[in-house]
Amino acid sequence: NIFSNRAVFEKNQNNSNVFLYPKEQDLCLFKYENNEITAKEARLDLESFNLFLKEPKGTIKNMLKKENTVSFRSDELFWHNFENAFLLSGHVNVIDPEFGIINSDEVEIIKKIKQNQLRKIISRKNTTINFFSKNQTSLKTKGIIELDHEKKCISAFSSKNPKKSPSYQDEDLVYKDLNVTIRAKRATLKYTDKNDVEKIILENSVRFIYQNQGYIGYGIADKIEYFPNEKNIKLISEDDKKVLFWKEDNSLNLSANEIHINQKEKNDIKGLGDVRFTFNLDEENLIHDIFSKYVSSE
């Protein structure tokens, strides 16, 4: 059902549209399966049943968990034939009680078929998620973030060069909390039933800043496994490559196949495998060429 004050029918060679407008200083109201959306104006394509809303603001109610109502607003909303997914674009803001606050250029909201429950939220382009977490956790990318309510999992990807232009530079995704800042090409966040992040996996060209009460450290790895509740971090290398970690005050340089950092232990940094406490020339060049740009951008 769509409630408005005035309707204008328009027909041309390609399609037929109904434009809906509210009273002055009022809003159109759209109701669908116990969900409500208000909008400044609406357009319904009578041929395709596509619905377009201007400046929509609404909620998606979870019939099983009423306290998990998702709210949203954006510049525009596009809904194709009233299917189980609609697209929000322009200054999108979504508040998801299970994850956090999402600000993005574009968000697709997908519901379960024949059920009034949220299945996925997929954001594209410039996106920042501020999680409901005591660690002040955030995730930022210009690529894609997928929040899967069924699997209790978030998958994130950095932006890619669509035309393979030599002048285009991929931008890493960035994960931050009170203890770490990590850049990578891909990230996976796994949740518990209590909506706590229990494990974070970051992969592909990982750059790492670690902040302890006593020092600041930097690292380079192929993969990081981070357990925020346990304050445990694993820096992992692929094949015969090395993980590098060093303290800002140069009191420690560490090259190893794997490095574990645990704030709860007195000796909180441990190297595994082939361990060296100096960097060779190739490692020094890698740090200079890659990590100096990373640090200067912080």
Q: Give the domains, in start order, of the chain with CATH numbers.
A: 1-101 (2.60.450.10), 133-297 (2.60.450.10)
For 41, counting Cβ atoms within 10 Å of its Cβ (0-12 exposed, 13-18 middle, 19+ buried), the class is: middle
Q: What is the CA radius of gyration of the chain?
A: 24
- Give the mean pLDDT of the chain: 83
- Percent of the chain exceeding pLDDT 70 equals 81
Q: Dihedral, CA atoms, 117, 120, 125, 130, nearest 10 degrees? A: 80
Q: Which of 10-14, 118-122, 161-165, 202-206 has the lowest mean pLDDT?
A: 161-165
For 60, counting Cβ atoms within 10 Å of its Cβ (0-12 exposed, 13-18 middle, 19+ buried), the class is: buried
> pLDDT, tens digit, for every residue of 203-232?
998 999 998 878 899 999 999 999 988 889
pLDDT at residue 144 is higher than 60? yes
What's residue 141's pLDDT? 95
pLDDT at residue 167 is higher than 50? no
Residue with token string 């704030």: 263
What's residue 267's pLDDT? 72
Q: Which of 6-10, 22-26, 132-136 has the lowest mean pLDDT?
A: 6-10
Contact 128, 139 (CB under 8 A): yes
What's residue 32's pLDDT? 77
Q: Which of 233, 234, 207 is nearest to 292 (CA)?
A: 207
Contact 182, 224 (CB under 8 A): yes
What's residue 7's pLDDT? 56
AA identity, residue 68 = N
pLDDT at residue 15 is higher than 90? no
> pLDDT, tens digit, for every residue of 24-41?
667 878 877 777 888 888
For 297, counting Cβ atoms within 10 Å of its Cβ (0-12 exposed, 13-18 middle, 19+ buried), the class is: exposed
For 262, counting Cβ atoms within 10 Å of its Cβ (0-12 exposed, 13-18 middle, 19+ buried), the class is: middle
